[in-house]
Amino acid sequence: MTMRLKARILMTEFVTHDVKRFILTKPKGFKFVPGQGALMAINKAGLRDEGHPFTPTSLPDDPVIEFTIKGYARRHGLTEKLHRLAPGDVLLITEVFGDIRWKGPGVFVAAGAGITPFVAILRQLRKAGKLAGNTLIFSNKTWDDIILERELRDSLGPQCIFVLTREKRAGYQSGRIDQRFLREKIRSFKGHFYVCGPMPFIEDVNGMLLQLGATQDKLVYDGP
Ligand SMILES: Cc1cc2nc3c(=O)[nH]c(=O)nc-3n(C[C@H](O)[C@H](O)[C@H](O)COP(=O)(O)OP(=O)(O)OC[C@H]3O[C@@H](n4cnc5c(N)ncnc54)[C@H](O)[C@@H]3O)c2cc1C
């Protein structure tokens, strides 16, 4: 879908030390399926063609759009500039794309900002009363990095498993997600698996899931 939709920032706030939520006006004609990404640029001279992918965490019927964006200040790239924007600034949405979408109950496996497509999907399932039968495994470096922990726990209860790779903390799993961990936490490998995070994470997790009995047609992820 080629387009150039203008969305004005209504508010921003930090949800973790380096992740901000952006509430934007919803331009006419903006349509997406929860889980899909959108190419976004800043409507300022020299930046209009620098579109990067982000995922709406709001629902298609919401009157505004929400994005939840991790800033990489040290990279001096687009997310640093996005984090400096203020209400009134305008973003350009040029494309909606991506294969992540709800296909049936299963296990969501996310790392860091890779949670964003699942936030939208889980909000959609909650609204429809269809959260039962889903599990979330969410990996972060430390407790401070977890995005929307309260909401996720409130939605999924004990079916929400948080993993911390660089911190030990009571009530949280520690270490990296490996085959033993997945075998321990996942009852059946017959359902859908939704995987999102940095590309090496997606490749590792998909590889382990396939070895444990998941089938390729049940893996839902964005990748090459
Ligand atoms: C389909 C899709 C949807 C996405 N949705 C979201 C979303 O909803 N929210 C979100 O926060 N992000 C999302 N992302 C990721 C987001 O697009 C990138 O984080 C963003 O484009 C980074 O832009 P940048 O110019 O600030 O940083 P870049 O210069 O592009 O660098 C950021 C990247 O560099 C890596 N990096 C950081 N430090 C270093 C270093 N010292 N050396 C080498 N590499 C380093 C980071 O891991 C990160 O991947 C999505 C990505 C895809 C593909």
- Using a 6 Å cutoff on CB, does residue 32 contact ligand 1? no
CA distance 153 to 161: 9
Q: pLDDT by residue (tens digit) across 3-23?
A: 899 999 999 999 999 999 999
Percent of the chain topping pLDDT 70: 99
Which stretch of DSSP H or E encloses residue 219?
strand 219-220
pTM (2 d.p.): 0.95
Q: For residue 69, give the ligand 1 atom closest to its CA.
A: 11
CA distance 192 to 177: 18
Rounded CA separation 189/212 (Å): 7
Query: What integer is the mean pLDDT of 202-209?
Result: 98
CA 102 – ligand 1 centroid, Å: 24
Give the residue whose CA is nearest to atom 28 of ligand 1. Answer: 77
Average pLDDT over residues 103-132: 98
In testing the pocket of ligand 1, which one of 40, 52, 76, 201 has its CB within 8 Å of the most ligand atoms?
52
Instruction: Identify which of 103, 109, 130 has the alpha carbon closest to the alpha carbon of residue 34.
Output: 103
Of the pLDDT bands very low, low, confident and very high (cuts 50, 70, 90), residue 224 is: low
- Residue pLDDT, tens place only, 168-195: 999 999 999 999 999 999 999 999 999 9
Whole-angstrom distance, CA of residue 95 vs CA of residue 104: 26
pLDDT at 2: 64
Write out pLDDT tens, residues 83-107: 999 999 999 999 999 999 999 999 9
